[in-house]
Amino acid sequence: MRSYATSAGPSSSSSNLAPVLLGLGVVSAGAFYYTTLDGSQKVQQVKQAVVAGPPALTNSEFKPLKLVKVTPYNHNTSKFTFELPEGTSSGLTVASALVVKAAKEGEGLAKNGKPAVRPYTPISEPSTQGKLDLLIKHYKGGAMTEHIFGLKEGDDLLFKGPIPKFHYKANQFESITLIAGGSGLTPMWQILQQIANDPNDKTKATLIYSNVTEADILLRKELEAFAAKRPGQINVKFVLDQPPAGWTGAKGYVDQKLLAQTLPGPAFGDRIKIFICGPPGQVAALAGPKDKMEQGPLKGLLADLGYTESQTYKF
């Protein structure tokens, strides 16, 4: 199978937190002070609880967001930063996506002449206020990517979401494996980012990330930083179909041997989960094709290795 490339701590008295939460209605951007037996943990809890306003996006209608910055990432991928209303976050959860379409009538049309609507998974944290970051690969001839790469700073794009995918919960599994190809990294990024930034999440996570060339690897430094931040808990394995001379990582493609060497065995039951996201051909070879919005039966290499449908999830 070729690797195709193309996204609770200790509890204390709730009364310590209540005065702070009661005061949130009048606190905007200012700081607040309080004393608890476990100050650092309460600070984190309060930061997560503070919501200055309703989410900027809704899954019931498209809303325009202004493009404020385009940052080239590599030879065919750029980061697009969109402005959210002041004091608001996207409202997305881990892991979820959103869908976009052109803001101007007659632009961003699919081959059938209708407005193209495409899903994307943001790389900015769901709690981030004021902005939304998308890391997008440019597909020549793709109706939406051609449109997005043609946008200028100040232009609008229509967004709708969140579109829930897999509801990740800390410590739900002992171990997870995330198998991604190309831009299929982004939902895996959401999960890894959540684990790396939550000191109470002890889930062991291994990313198997395949690409054609080394230049195609997305968010490499950030992924390696996650692994360095949580050594022994987060592991990253890069796989290249066309590795350069001197490459010490995995070579070729994600095959049964690599999976057997890397994944916890099927006998671990519901203590493990395997996530798959990539081009349709890669997903089908690993776990069988998705059936539109449904998961579809488990097939491919993971089925051959003895894993079950309940142990896998296809983004």
Strands (E), 155-203: 156-164, 175-181
Please say whether the beta carbons of 77 and 108 come within 8 A: no
Tokens of 220: 């490499």
- Report whether 271 belongs to an annotated binding site: no
- Gyration radius of the chain over CA positions: 21
State both tokens at 130: 């004021």
Does 135 count as an annotated binding residue? yes
118 labeled binding residue: yes
**Is 187 within any annotated ligand binding site?**
no
Strand order in the sheet with 63-72: 118-120, 96-102, 156-164, 63-72, 77-83, 131-137
Q: How distant, in Å, are the alpha carbons of 3, 41, 273 from that of 192?
A: 21, 21, 14
C-alpha to C-alpha distances, 41 to 24, 28, 45, 204, 312, nearest whole angstrom: 17, 21, 6, 22, 33
How far apart CA 284 and CA 303 sit, in angstroms, is 11
CB 98 within 8 A of CB 120: yes
Check the annotation: does 10 bind a ligand.
no
Distance (Å, whole) CA 164 – CA 310 = 18
CA–CA separation, 309 and 287 (whole Å): 9
**Cα–Cα distance list, 303 to 206, 266, 298, 308 (Å):** 19, 10, 6, 7
- Give the Cα separation of 22 and 78 in Å (integer): 42
Question: Are residues 24 and 50 in contact, defined by beta-carbon separation less than 8 angstroms?
Answer: yes
186 annotated as a binding-site residue: yes
Q: Is 168 assigned to a binding site?
A: no
Q: Which residues are annotated binding-site positions?
A: 118-120, 135, 137, 144, 186
Q: Which residues are annotated binding-site positions for FAD?
A: 118-120, 135, 137, 144, 186
